[in-house]
A and B are shown apart, each in its own frame.
Chain A
Amino acid sequence: MTSTSLVSPAEPVESTGAPARLRWALADGWTLTRRALAHWARRPEQVVMGLLFPVMLVLMFGYLFGGQMAVPGGGSYREFLMPGMFAMTMVFGVETTFAAVATDASRSITDRFRSLPMASSAVVAGRGAADMLHSVLALTVMAVTGLAVGWRWHEGAGRALAAAGLLLLLRFALLWLGVYLGLVARSPELLVAVQVLVWPIGFLSNAFVDPATMPGWLGAIAEWNPLSATIGATRELFGTPGWDGGSWAAEHAVPMAVLWPLLLAAVFFPLSVRRYRRLSR
């Protein structure tokens, strides 16, 4: 240890005015996004495993189960499956968000962040931006996988991009669910619970099979599952095989795929903010 005195590298700056505050909020958020990116750089194997897991599912469902599956209205099961797997990939993202938020909340590093003169939104904003980046990457990997197993978009690039937009909108809504659950749990040990719960949510939708084949009441739940709305809408926009709908929810998949995520975000965003504030009581 040397004996040089510690001199402050800068005078405390008071950021006043809305423009300055917004600028710092963005800068702070970016600093924390970079923190998440640095985590990936230090643990690339985790990122790669996370990206390859849904690819494995595509191969499993597409080639092992696929032979048995009858697509409603006819067509390739793998083409039917891909929109479901895109949406499932977005749902798996909840695990990433949950694990990161719960880990931070269980450690004193959250206290340090909260004792710094940074924007209080930055912790969540930085996390959110990193997770969205991750999901874009995951979606790209899945699209390449889809192309390799015979999935195509049949309605033009514009509608395909709109479908991607709906998927990311779903991911954005689930971001707040993940943040909320992470702040409630405050311990990454509950990650297993989240990982398990993802499955019934995924299967209780139109991701893998036509809800019409399920017992009546279960089929109804599956029809109204927010996941089904996004999947139905993306099937429509990609022009991949689906079914003739029949239910009101299936007929209006595209507006529902916009409304459901907005509703989820409208519920879980304020809940998350309240939870975060409650840390100071």
Chain B
Amino acid sequence: MTDHAVLAQGVRKRYGGGTTALDGLDLAVAPGTVHGLLGPNGAGKTTCVRILATLLTLDGGRAEVAGFDVLREPARVRRRIGLVGQHAAVDEVLSGRQNLEMFGRLHHLPTRAARRRADELLERFGLRDAGRRPAGEYSGGMRRRLDLAAGMIMAPAVLFLDEPTTGLDPRGRSEVWETVRALAEDGTTVLLTTQYLEEADRLAGRISVVDRGRVIAEGTPDELKSGLGADRVDVVLRDPAALPAAADLLSGATGARVETDPDTRRLSAPVTDRVAALIEVVRALDGAGIDAEDIALRRPTLDEVFLHLTADRAEEAA
């Protein structure tokens, strides 16, 4: 037994075709937290979740979920997890209620308890009125919520969410986010994979950045952002023609490489001494008579962290 809800040490997985999906992945998730696995397509996120949910066997290393080894005691693990995959895993012919009742029975709840649980979950996930309709007629967001409800039959200790908002419209996405937050407040440990940085930033207390089957960085969203180095100064110009001149000024003022985005007329550069740099930039622009629409200091986005981290790896590999 460990005091981690999820623990993976040096997990390796190679598929039949010879592709290495996981190459020594380490992961530790504290109980009651939301942990994000962030990475591009093919990074190994889904493989990781499938191994932890006992759907795939690992080839090397070890993994524990809720204190039980996934290879040695898969049945005990299955009693303590919920899984919501990339595609809604519900029976589309049956109604929402019939689905939840069936999954309740398969969790070995007695008939009446399964029925009561189905009603409770429909109510909780805002599906009461749709309970009698076939799941195939639900909207994307509703189906995903039904999926979440099915994963919560036993209020599991650990809930795996594999890209829970992929393919949803913004409304469906915010519905799912709201649901995940509520579950986390109830104390469910959530392991969430996503390729949306915004999603990880909003939901996860800690994030593991996964690339090519390994964790290449880990920390709170803030830690990851500070790890990139400094805050950044953003300047938005009125006249796109002034971009090159402004970039030179900005580079001189900050002593760093300046990123230019002509579409948004935005310049961005990292700064070390926040306020001094800001004053320097304002003075330089003013002196050159360049008109700015907006000047702001900000933390780096996770996008920047992510691109930075994966770019490093790409250089290493080259």
A contacts, CB < 8 Å to B: 1-10, 12-15, 24, 27-28, 31-32, 34-35, 38-39, 42-43, 107-109, 111-118, 122, 279-281
Known: A27-B108, A28-B106, A117-B78. Contact between A6 and B124, CB under 8 A? yes
Q: Please determine whether B125 and A108 come into contact, CB atoms closer than 8 angstroms.
A: no
Bound complex: CA A47 to CA B93 (Å): 14
Out of B87, B93, B120, B152, name the residue touching A42 (CB < 8 Å). Answer: B93
Main secondary structure of the interface of B (DSSP, over half): loop
Q: Please determine whether B83 and A112 come into contact, CB atoms closer than 8 angstroms.
A: yes
Q: Which residues of A contact B89 (CB under 8 A)?
A: 107-109, 111-112
Out of A5, A6, A13, A280, name the residue touching B55 (CB < 8 Å). Answer: A280
Q: Which residues of B contact A32 (CB under 8 A)?
A: 102, 106
Known: A2-B124, A35-B91. Contact between A281 and B106, CB under 8 A? no
Q: Please determine whether B80 and A280 come into contact, CB atoms closer than 8 angstroms.
A: no
- For this complex, 26 residue pairs linking A to B, each with C-beta atoms less than 8 Å apart, are A1-B179, A4-B124, A6-B152, A8-B155, A10-B108, A14-B79, A24-B108, A28-B105, A38-B98, A39-B94, A42-B134, A43-B93, A108-B87, A109-B90, A109-B91, A112-B89, A115-B54, A116-B103, A116-B106, A117-B79, A117-B107, A117-B108, A279-B55, A280-B54, A280-B55, A280-B56
Count CB-based A-B contacts (< 8 Å).
124
Interfacial residues of chain B within 49-95, with CB under 8 A of chain A in the complex? 50, 53-57, 75-76, 78-81, 83, 85-91, 93-94
Known: A12-B154, A42-B94, A115-B81. Contact between A5 and B107, CB under 8 A? no
Q: Please determine whether B91 and A1 come into contact, CB atoms closer than 8 angstroms.
A: no
Minimal Cβ-Cβ distance residue in A for B117: A9
Known: A115-B55, A118-B106. Contact between A108 and B86, CB under 8 A? yes
Q: Please determine whether B93 and A1 come into contact, CB atoms closer than 8 angstroms.
A: no
B37 within 8 A of A: no
Q: Please determine whether B155 and A6 come into contact, CB atoms closer than 8 angstroms.
A: yes
B287 within 8 A of A: no
Minimal Cβ-Cβ distance residue in A for B98: A38
Known: A3-B182, A280-B55, A280-B56. Contact between A39 and B93, CB under 8 A? yes
Q: Please determine whether B123 and A12 come into contact, CB atoms closer than 8 angstroms.
A: no
* Most chain B CB atoms below 10 A, which of A34, A114, A117, A281: A117
Bound complex: CA A39 to CA B136 (Å): 13
Minimal Cβ-Cβ distance residue in B for A118: B106
B316 within 8 A of A: no
Known: A6-B183, A6-B186, A118-B106. Contact between A12 and B79, CB under 8 A? yes
B113 within 8 A of A: yes
B150 within 8 A of A: yes
Minimal Cβ-Cβ distance residue in A for B123: A2
Interfacial residues of chain B within 15-51, with CB under 8 A of chain A in the complex? 15-16, 50
B109 within 8 A of A: yes
Minimal Cβ-Cβ distance residue in B for A104: B91
Minimal Cβ-Cβ distance residue in A for B152: A6
A40 to chain B, nearest CB (A): 10
Q: Please determine whether B103 and A1 come into contact, CB atoms closer than 8 angstroms.
A: no
B227 within 8 A of A: no
Bound complex: CA A111 to CA B47 (Å): 13
Minimal Cβ-Cβ distance residue in B for A115: B83
Q: Please determine whether A9 and B109 come into contact, CB atoms closer than 8 angstroms.
A: yes
B248 within 8 A of A: no
A3 to chain B, nearest CB (A): 7
B252 within 8 A of A: no
B240 within 8 A of A: no
Q: Please determine whether B186 and A5 come into contact, CB atoms closer than 8 angstroms.
A: yes
- Given contacts A1-B124, A34-B102, A280-B56, 14 further A-B pairs with CB under 8 A are A1-B125, A1-B179, A2-B124, A6-B155, A6-B183, A10-B109, A13-B108, A31-B105, A108-B88, A112-B90, A117-B78, A118-B108, A280-B55, A281-B16
B233 to chain A, nearest CB (A): 41
